[in-house]
């Protein structure tokens, strides 16, 4: 039987510092991500674009 489960993570504060590093690492590990932000949509969009550029889902 094949594994059809998708691992999903919500990263709060995922636009800078430790949060952004967590986003990058989880994306490399195959997680689908929801990136939470407060106040800087452009940085959140940048984080999502970086994940997608590497073939990930965000």
Residue 1 — pLDDT band, cuts 50, 70, 90? low
Residue in the structure block whose two tokens are 């594994």: 3
User: How many whole angstroms separate alpha carbon 53 and alpha carbon 21?
Assistant: 16
User: How many whole angstroms separate alpha carbon 34 and alpha carbon 36?
Assistant: 6
The conformation of residue 31, written as its DSSP 8-state character, comes to: -
Over the stretch 2-56, which tens digit does the pLDDT of each residue have? 667 889 999 999 999 999 999 999 999 999 999 999 989 999 999 999 999 999 9
Please, are residues 16 and 24 in contact by the beta-carbon 8 Å criterion? no
Residue in the structure block whose two tokens are 């504060």: 13
Which residue(s) pair with 34 in the sheet?
Answer: 10
């Amino acid at each position: 039987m094949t594994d059809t489960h998708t691992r999903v993570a919500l990263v709060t504060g995922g636009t800078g510092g430790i949060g952004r590093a967590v986003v990058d690492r989880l994306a490399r590990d195959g997680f689908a991500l929801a990136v939470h932000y407060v106040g800087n949509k452009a940085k959140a969009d940048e984080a999502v674009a970086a994940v997608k550029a590497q073939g990930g889902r965000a």
